Amino acid sequence: MCRTGCPTQDHATWGECARAANLRVAYCGIGGGDATEQKRWDNDLALYRSARAQGIQPDGTTRPKVMAALKASEQAGAAYGRDFSAAAPMPEGA
Ligand SMILES: [Zn+2]
């Protein structure tokens, strides 16, 4: 059930595989509170690219939209925007 781009190919479910990749990206994004605007932009793009690499098609490149797509994909165990799409409202405070 691994994504084609998964380096380890040892995950039981698509969601687990996606979560492992997402955690790696999220971890890279935690650099302390001194991130510049450019760095934040780079992190958003990296997150977006990670989503696209998993077949997910977020509604936009901004972090809240990408995170919403990732969350929806993980909950559904499928790629948002490719395998399904939902007109679900954005989570509060995202
Ligand atoms: Zn995997």
pLDDT tens, position by position, 36-79:
666 777 888 899 999 999 999 999 988 999 999 999 999 888 99
Q: Is the pTM of this model over 0.75?
A: no
Q: Residue 24 Cα, ligand 1 centroid: separation in angstroms?
A: 12
User: 54 Cβ partners below 8 Å, 6+ apart?
Assistant: 3, 5, 18, 21, 73, 79
Q: Residue 37 Cα, ligand 1 centroid: separation in angstroms?
A: 31
Q: Residue 38 Cα, ligand 1 centroid: separation in angstroms?
A: 30
More confident position, 33 or 47: 47
Q: Residue 84 Cα, ligand 1 centroid: separation in angstroms?
A: 20
User: 90 Cβ partners below 8 Å, 6+ apart?
Assistant: 64, 68
Q: Residue 30 Cα, ligand 1 centroid: separation in angstroms?
A: 22
Rounded CA-CA distance 67/94 in Å is: 8
